[in-house]
């Protein structure tokens, strides 16, 4: 299956 990722994995905390 496909697992949904979240944005924190790609974008840093500003």
Partner 1 sequence: MFEAKFEDGGLFKKIVEAIKELVKNVNLEANGTGISLQAMDTSHVALVALQLNEKGFKKYRCEKSLTMGLSIENLQKILKCSGNDDQITLRTQDEEPTTLSFTFESKNRISEFQLNLMSLDQEQLGVPDTEYSSVVRMPSNEFTKICRELGNINEAIGIETSKEGIKFYVKGDIGEGQVSVKINDTEKPEERVECEVDEPVNLSFAVRYFNLFNKASALSSQVILSMSQDQPLVIEYIIEEMGSLKLYLAPKIND
2: tokens are 């496909």
Smallest gap from Cβ 13 to partner 1, in A, equals 6
CA–CA dist 14, 4 (Å, integer): 23
12: tokens are 């840093």
Binding residues (CB under 8 A) for partner 1: these are 1-14
Smallest gap from Cβ 8 to partner 1, in A, equals 6
């Amino acid at each position: 299956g496909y697992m949904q990722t979240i944005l924190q994995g790609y974008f840093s905390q500003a």
